[in-house]
Amino acid sequence: DHLVNQIAAGEVVERPASALKELLENSLDAGAGAVSVDLAEGGCKLIRVSDDGGGIAREELALALSRHATSKIASLEDLHRVSTLGFRGEGLASIASVSQLLLSSRLAGGDQAWRVAADNGQIHEAEPAALAAGTTIEVRDLYFNVPARRKFLKTASTEYAHCEDVFKRIALSRPDLALMMTHNGKVQWRLKMESPAERMRAVLGNEFADSMLAIDEAAGPLRLRGFAGSPTISRSGRDAQFVFVNGRFVRDKVVLHAVREAYRDVLHLDRQPLYVLFIELDPEGVDVNVHPTKTEVRFRESQAIHRFLFHSLNKALASTRA
C-alpha cells in the first residue's frame, strides 16, 4: 500500500505547490475562516498549514492519512454532485507517503488536541498535542524517500513561485478568508477578510483594480461573476487569467476561447487581458473528476457554456464603451 501511495503521490503531488494546494483545499472544506501557511525553501523543506476549521476527531486522525479515506462523499452517486474541493481521499495519504508528516487537530468543541505522525508511510499512534483550535499539518522534506522525484524539484525560488500561484488562486476565490503566508520566516502575504474588489486589489495590484470591470450576469442556472481587466494594462506574474468553476480553479479551453472571442468582438483586441471569473453552475453540469489534480473540468454542455460566457462578457464590455 505504501508503494501504491507513492505512485499516486507522483500524480497528486508533483511538487511542493501541489501539496500546498491539497492542504489549503482541505482547510477550506473544513470551513476555516483563517488559514496561515509557513514555507521553508520553496516548500521543499517545510509546508505548514494551520486553520481554524472544524478539526478532526482523535479516532479519525490515522484514517485521514489513509488512502481513499474521505469524509466528503459517501457513495459513487455523490461523485456527480461534489460541492467540496476534495473528494478523492488520496491527498493526505499521497503526501504522507513521500514526506515526514505531522497532523495535529482539535475537533470543534473538543477538550483536547491530538496529533499523529507519519513517516515513510508509517502512521504512528495518536498523542496529545497543544493546539487551541482547528488543524495544523506539517509536511517536511518532500520526496526525501524518493530520490528520483526529488531530482525533479527546481530551485527553492521556482518552487516558491509555484506555491505563491496556488496561494493567490485561493486568495482570489475566497476574499472572506483571512490568509497569511511566510517564506523562510519572512511574511510574504497578509490578507484580512475583505470585499471581493478589495481582495482583487490586494492580490493583483492597483493597476488592475483601478481599471477592472465588475461583472455579474446570470441565465437560468448559469452565473458569471468576476472582474475583467482592460487589455491595455500590463500583466503581472505568470498567471493572468483566473477562472474558477464552482469555486475551483480551472484551466479550460472552452472558457478561454469564449473570453478571447468576447474581447476581440468588442474591443477588436487579440491580446489576452487579465481577468478573474467565477462561473457557477449546477454541479451535475460539470465533471471535476477528470484528473487527480483537478484543474481540468469537462462541461456537459460546453456549447451552452461558451455561448453564455461570450454573451455575458460581450454585454459587460460593450456597456463600458457606451
**Secondary structure class of 234 (helix, strand, coil):** coil
CA distance 54 to 145: 32
**C-alpha to C-alpha distance for 316 and 309, rounded to whole angstroms:** 11
Per CB under 6 A, the list member of 5, 26, 104, 302 interacting with ligand ADP is 26
Give the residue from 271, 255, 250 showing the smallest Cα distance to 305: 255
User: What distance in Å separates the CA atoms of residue 305 and residue 300, rounded to the nearest whole number?
Assistant: 9
- Residues 242 to 261: which contact Mg ion by CB under 5 A? none
Site membership for ligand ADP, residue 30 (CB under 6 A) = yes
- Span from 75-83, 88-96, 97-105, 186-194 in contact with Mg ion (CB under 5 A): 88-96
Give the residue, chosen from 6, 26, 99, 135, that forms a contact with Mg ion under the rule CB under 5 A. 26
Per-residue x/- mask for ligand ADP, residues 131 to 170, rule CB under 6 A?
----x-----------------------------------
56 binds ligand ADP (CB under 6 A): yes
Q: Does 42 bind Mg ion (CB under 5 A)?
A: no
Burial 4-15 (b: 16+ CB within 10 A, else e): ebbebbbebbbb
C-alpha cell at 146: 524518493
Binding mask 264-283 for ligand ADP (x = CB under 6 A): --------------------
Q: Is residue 53 at the binding interface for ligand ADP, with CB under 6 A as the rule?
A: yes
Work out whether strand 178-183 and strand 34-40 pair parallel, antiparallel, or are unpaired.
Answer: parallel
Q: Which residues contact 79 (CB under 8 A, 6 or more apart)?
A: 73, 87, 289
Does residue 121 belong to the site contacting ligand ADP (CB under 6 A)?
Answer: no
Within positions 60 to 79, which residues make up the interface with ligand ADP, using CB under 6 A? 64, 69-72
Q: How many CB atoms are located within 10 Å of the residue 168 CB?
A: 19
Contacts with Mg ion, residue ranges (CB under 5 A): 26, 86, 91
Which positions lie near ligand ADP, rule CB under 6 A? 22, 26-27, 30, 51, 53-56, 64, 69-72, 86-93, 135
